[in-house]
């Protein structure tokens, strides 16, 4: 595997010049990044290329501090010439789930417009022009549309209530729920809530309909034994459950991935298998029968191969890499062909550009995400032309064209064309604003930890950086733990905005991080906090030793989610830092196990249930280290604690316990509670306040 190196091409990307467009004047004044710079950067969605490879459509959000003033629309860009992208829709509500017709003339998308109680399917004539036309009026809405191979029908996902057989039943059930005099929720399945929502009893279904307004949708899974199973379902998201589904090449069936053991989520890993249901309906046929999960289903252009991403879901392991695999179609082989079996990295996404006989994909590695390819048979692994810095955020093929989103920490997301030599930037929504900011790309470095592991880090410097000066260090810890610091533009914990007051920001990929192989990610099993915490401390030591401009006497650390867990652990076990910041941070492993929306993997990570004999439940719970305060080895450093009241992933009780612990031990602490936020701080004014509080807290103890 090739480890990427910086090149002249990378330098051009860092300057925002690749792909054409006006460059910011070299002598123009540049300013230190502001919250407005971060928040008001336009947010460019994943482009969807047309089947003929001539167009790409994507969403662009014009953010605002007042959500009522925020706009999001679909834009379209020619892939055959350099004409600028143009706005395709003009609707404040926003659109998603765009899908092209096979002839590349029609576009269907999901939107909630005036008169819609739920998001519906709309169609627009891209070739002929005109207004978008509503296609569905379902009580519970529609999502994830796909045209049939002949363009005459649509496949999509919607929901029903238990026992409902048709839309009339759904309407009655919805009215009954609306008219109820009581407000209680009742549950017999797990989990009862997800991120910031209490779940309901809706059941996910696959529907087909003629691609015309007024056509009647038909539930393909109605009356099936499969859909009646208590554990049937798909992935959980903000809009409900999803089913990864697509048309069979001949248009006579729908192929989809679904789980049948969701009801075992509290005690077992979930497995997502592949099924096929005839267009006429009937009982779906199960095509795979193993302890793997399958997703990202795509057919080759000739319809002879089904490509997927698969995870082994190995029992008793905390992490499994995602591999690229294929099945001959019709699917008759009992097991998939693993195309990337020799590549010890998780495949993030892939595309199938026509006429190449190759699968193009990306994976995480050492802060970057770049393009690679392999033959349909799984040979001749190559590095494809992609920027030597930053990250590929999306990738899709239409005909021979391949498009995606590329970004870096100093280049906010833009749409790019890939596959024909050097990547070409197609949009310039953020380039001018980005060029006006005084910022530098992160500096990468490695070191060998005391456990023998090679640890990757990125260092971010503040504006007006002077290597002759001394700067405090802020070690920012990523969440996950199955995650990786990427060279990308981040809104919630923007590296440069955190550094802006005059700090050097250290980003360390501790053991448990992705992007370094399966064993590295699994290394936190049985050691969820201490081992990663030790590596963060060692990374700080290495940064202080390596870079003379870092002041080793002024150190701070902080993070969110799992990063907040580790911030709490460090505050409980060391006195080397001057200040901590913990957002959505776990304070007690046992409480987090019992109150979050995910518990099975926590048991796997700790070696067994909380009532077992595994010492890790107590020995690596931050609150249980309270005795370190009397010893002078922990719980002495001031800490800023923040939490969203709607966070059901790391519920607010963790923050309340943390705050209580600090006051019990007489440690300086401040608690920020956001009543209208979930696991993340997503509202503009809340975000601005959060950053100001973080800056104020660090300044109090580091300046």
| pLDDT interval class at 241 (50, 70, 90) | confident
Contact 227, 203 (CB under 8 A): yes
Q: What is the average per-residue pLDDT within 268-283?
A: 92
**Residue 2 predicted with pLDDT over 80:** no
Q: How confident is the model at residue 85 (pLDDT cuts 50, 70, 90)?
A: very high
Task: Report the pLDDT averaged over residues 253-260.
Answer: 96
- Residue 526: how many CB atoms within 10 A of its CB? 16
354-to-58, 302, 376, 401 alpha-carbon distances in Å: 21, 9, 12, 8
Give the DSSP letter string of 28-59. Answer: S--B---HHHHHHS-EE---EE-TTSSEEEEE
Q: What is the pLDDT of residue 25?
A: 59
Give residue 268's pLDDT band: very low, low, confident or very high (50, 70, 90).
Answer: confident
Q: Given CATH 3.40.50.1820, say whether it is the number of domain 438-702.
A: yes
Q: Of 365, 496, 497, 509, give the one whose Cα is nearest residue 442.
A: 496
Q: Quick one: which H or E segment has residue 495? A: helix 495-499
- Pick the range with the lowest mean pLDDT from 46-50, 425-429, 599-603: 599-603
Tens digit of each residue's pLDDT (9 = 90 or more) over 339-368: 999 999 999 999 999 999 999 999 999 999
pLDDT tier at 8, thresholds 50, 70, 90: very low
Q: How far apart are CA 391 and CA 348, in angstroms?
A: 11
Residue the block writes with tokens 């209680």: 184
Q: Confirm whether pTM is higher than 0.85.
A: yes
- Closest listed residue to residue 487, CA positions, set 527, 455, 459, 526: 459
DSSP annotation of 186 reads: -
Provide the pLDDT for residue 93: 78
CB 83 within 8 A of CB 55: no
473-490 pLDDT, tens digit each: 999 999 999 999 999 999
pLDDT, one tens digit per residue, over 623-651 is 999 999 999 999 999 999 999 999 999 99
Locus of tokens 């017999």: 188
What's the mean pLDDT in 198-227? 94
Which is higher by pLDDT, 90 or 572?
572
Q: What is the helix (H) or strand (E) element at residue 579, kind and residue range?
A: strand 579-583
Sequence spans of domains, the chain: 438-702
Q: Give me the pLDDT at residue 67, please.
A: 87
- DSSP conformational letter for 105: S
d(C-alpha 629, C-alpha 625), whole Å: 8
For residue 476, give the nearest of 464, 459, 491, 453 by alpha carbon.
459
Encode pLDDT of 126-142 as tens digits: 998 888 999 999 999 99
Whether pLDDT at 669 is above 60? yes
């Amino acid at each position: 595997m090739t480890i990427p190196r910086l090149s002249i091409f990378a330098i051009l990307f860092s300057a925002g010049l690749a792909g054409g467009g006006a460059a910011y004047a070299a002598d123009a004044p540049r300013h230190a990044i502001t919250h407005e710079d971060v928040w008001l950067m336009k947010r460019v969605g994943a482009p969807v290329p047309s089947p003929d490879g001539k167009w790409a459509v994507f969403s662009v959000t014009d953010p605002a501090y007042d959500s009522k003033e925020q706009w999001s629309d679909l834009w379209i860009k020619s892939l055959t010439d350099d004409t600028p992208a143009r706005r395709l829709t003009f609707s404040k509500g926003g659109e998603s789930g765009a899908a092209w017709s096979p002839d590349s003339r029609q576009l269907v998308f999901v939107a909630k417009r005036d008169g819609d109680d739920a998001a519906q399917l709309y169609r627009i004539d891209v070739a002929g022009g005109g207004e978008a036309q509503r296609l569905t009026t379902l009580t519970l809405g529609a999502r994830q549309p796909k045209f049939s191979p002949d363009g005459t029908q649509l496949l999509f996902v919607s929901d029903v209530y238990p026992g409902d057989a048709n839309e009339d039943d759904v309407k009655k059930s919805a009215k009954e729920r609306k008219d109820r005099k009581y407000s209680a929720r009742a549950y017999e399945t797990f989990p009862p809530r997800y991120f910031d929502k209490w779940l309901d009893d809706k059941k996910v279904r696959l529907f087909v309909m003629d691609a015309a307004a007024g056509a009647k949708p038909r539930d393909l899974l109605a009356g099936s034994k499969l859909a009646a199973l208590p554990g049937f379902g798909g992935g959980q998201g903000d809009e409900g459950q999803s089913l990864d589904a697509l048309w069979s090449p001949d248009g006579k069936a729908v192929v989809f991935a679904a789980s049948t053991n969701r009801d075992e989520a509290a005690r077992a890993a979930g497995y997502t298998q592949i099924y096929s249901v005839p267009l006429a309906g009937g009982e779906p046929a199960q095509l795979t029968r193993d302890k793997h999960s399958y997703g990202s289903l795509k057919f080759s252009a000739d319809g002879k191969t089904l490509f997927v991403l698969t995870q082994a879901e190995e029992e008793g392991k905390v992490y499994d890499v995602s591999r690229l695999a294929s099945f001959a179609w019709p699917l008759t082989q009992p097991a998939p062909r693993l195309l990337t079996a020799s590549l010890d990295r998780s495949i993030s996404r892939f595309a199938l550009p026509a006429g190449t006989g190759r699968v193009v994909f990306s994976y995480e590695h050492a802060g970057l995400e770049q393009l690679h390819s392999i033959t349909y048979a799984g040979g001749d692994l190559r590095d494809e032309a992609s920027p030597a810095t930053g990250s590929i955020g999306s990738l899709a093929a239409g005909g021979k064209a391949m498009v995606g989103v590329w970004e870096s920490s100093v280049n906010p997301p833009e749409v790019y064309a890939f596959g024909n030599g050097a990547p070409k930037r197609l949009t310039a929504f953020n380039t001018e604003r980005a060029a006006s900011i005084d910022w530098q790309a992160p500096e990468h470095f490695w070191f060998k930890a005391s456990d023998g592991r090679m640890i990757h880090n990125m260092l971010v410097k503040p504006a007006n950086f002077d290597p002759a000066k001394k700067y405090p260090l802020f070690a920012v810890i990523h969440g996950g733990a199955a995650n990786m610091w990427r060279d990308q533009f981040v809104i919630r914990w923007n590296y440069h905005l955190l550094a802006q007051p005059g700090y050097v920001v250290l980003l360390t990929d501790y053991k448990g991080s992705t992007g370094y192989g399966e064993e590295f990610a699994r290394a936190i099993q049985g050691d969820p906090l201490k081992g990663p915490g030790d590596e963060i401390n060692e990374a700080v030591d290495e940064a202080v030793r390596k870079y003379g401009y870092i002041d080793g006497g002024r150190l701070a650390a902080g993070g969110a989610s799992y990063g907040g867990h580790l911030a709490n652990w460090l505050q409980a076990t060391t006195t080397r830092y001057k200040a901590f910041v913990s957002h959505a941070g776990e304070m007690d492993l046992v409480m987090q196990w019992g109150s979050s929306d995910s518990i099975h993997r926590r048991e796997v990570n700790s070696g067994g249930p909380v009532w077992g004999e595994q010492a890790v439940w107590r020995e690596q719970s931050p609150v249980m280290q309270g005795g370190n305060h009397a010893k002078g080895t922990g719980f002495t450093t001031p800490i800023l604690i923040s939490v969203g009241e709607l966070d059901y992933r790391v519920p607010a009780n963790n923050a309340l316990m943390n705050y209580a612990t600090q006051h019990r031990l007489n440690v300086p602490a401040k608690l920020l509670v956001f009543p209208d936020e979930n696991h993340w701080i997503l509202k503009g004014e809340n975000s601005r306040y959060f950053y100001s509080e973080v800056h104020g807290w660090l300044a109090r103890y580091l300046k």
